Amino acid sequence: MFRDSRINLTDEQVSSYKENGFVQIDNVLNREELEELRTCMEEVMNNHGGKSIQTSEDKAAYYKVLNQRVNTWRDHGGMARFVLSERLAGMADQLIGNKGVRLFHDHALLKMPHDSKETPWHQDFPYWPMKKPGALSIWLTLDDVDEKNGCMQFMPKTHQLNKLKAVSLVGGHDIFEEAENNGARFDKSQAVTVPMKAGSCTFHDGLTFHAAFANQTDKPRRVLAIIYMPDGTTFNGKPHITVDDLSLQQGKPLAGGRFPKLY
């Protein structure tokens, strides 16, 4: 059974994250923990009518990119053990310089087999209702991933840019062109492809450009992504699926029971 514990990152891992805007960390879950998380994810994906939110329906264009369920921790105690864990949140905290982190939300990200589409290049931060950047995501894979089933790609140093326009994941604009129009040229051939073993993860800054390959295999690619924000991150007043049912005041910190302090 998953027992929480701390992982101490090396100085190299932290400085690589700061320099490039992403980092790969191997073996954060062992075989038994991974099996437990797979079971929990299957249970939560098969459960309808709870508080988590399915953002795409079968056959919809978005579903071909991602079969996504947001805030699985609110419906499944087993998912909550991982999503709220010190092991995962503690790594996020070390990467942002030990400022303390809160949960923003989690999502199960499945790339389904057959008629799968790649996840286009984008930044995450423009989707989030936060005044300032600093939030980051863990992308924890439940399956071995490579270019054939939807592993991630990152463009180093793009986290040094500002917030650009939000890219639609179903036929949006080219973020590289937009960056170039803003005077920042990045060569896509310099992108880093990150194949990983199940139980390993990446962290990326909300401003880092990233994409994922389509899934050409006959099995789903299963990932748990968790978004962490530095404690004190404030609400910018914009709509978002995770705040729309709350009466939040613009300018106030995203805090309280829906955004618990984890580390």
Compute the least distance from the CB of residue 150 to ligand SIN, in Å. 6
Which of 150, 199 has the CB closer to ligand SIN? Answer: 150
Which of 93, 124 has the CB closer to ligand SIN? Answer: 124
Buried/exposed code over 140-153 (b: 16+ C-beta within 10 A; e: otherwise): bbbbebeeebbbbb
Residue selected from 24, 71, 119, 123 as contacting ligand SIN according to rule CB under 6 A: 119
Per DSSP, the three-state class of 149 is strand
Contacts of 46 (CB under 8 A, 6+ apart): none
Site for ligand SIN in 144-173 (CB under 6 A): 150
Residue selected from 20, 67, 123, 137 as contacting ligand SIN according to rule CB under 6 A: 137
Instruction: Retrieve residue 202's tokens.
Output: 């990446």
Q: Which does 109 bind (CB under 5 to 8 A by kind): Ni ion, ligand SIN, none?
A: ligand SIN
Site for ligand SIN in 176-235 (CB under 6 A): 210, 212, 223, 225
Per DSSP, the three-state class of 235 is strand
Contact 52, 74 (CB under 8 A): yes
Which of 105, 210 has the CB closer to ligand SIN? Answer: 210
Q: Point out the residue whose Cβ comes nearest to ligand SIN.
A: 212
**Cα distance between residue 112 and residue 180, in whole Å:** 33
Q: Which does 111 bind (CB under 5 to 8 A by kind): Ni ion, ligand SIN, none?
A: ligand SIN
Site for ligand SIN in 70-89 (CB under 6 A): none
Strands 101-111 and 201-205: unpaired
Q: Give 3-state DSSP helix, strand, coil % of the chain, rounded to 5.
A: 25, 25, 50
Residue selected from 124, 143, 205, 231 as contacting Ni ion according to rule CB under 5 A: 124
What is each CA distance from 16 to 10, 11, 23, in whole angstroms? 10, 8, 6
* Beta bridge partner(s), residue 226: 106, 138
Q: Is 106 one of the binding residues for Ni ion (CB under 5 A)? A: no
Which of 154, 248 has the CB closer to ligand SIN? Answer: 154
Residue selected from 109, 130, 135, 164 as contacting ligand SIN according to rule CB under 6 A: 109
| Helices then strands, each counted (H, E), the chain | 6, 11
What is each CA distance from 102 to 52, 105, 223, 231, in whole angstroms? 18, 9, 20, 6
Compute the least distance from the CB of residue 210 to ligand SIN, in Å. 6
Compute the least distance from the CB of residue 209 to ligand SIN, in Å. 10
Which of 52, 68 has the CB closer to Ni ion? Answer: 68
Residue numbers at the binding site for ligand SIN (CB under 6 A): 66, 109, 111, 119, 124, 137, 139, 150, 210, 212, 223, 225
Residue numbers at the binding site for Ni ion (CB under 5 A): 124
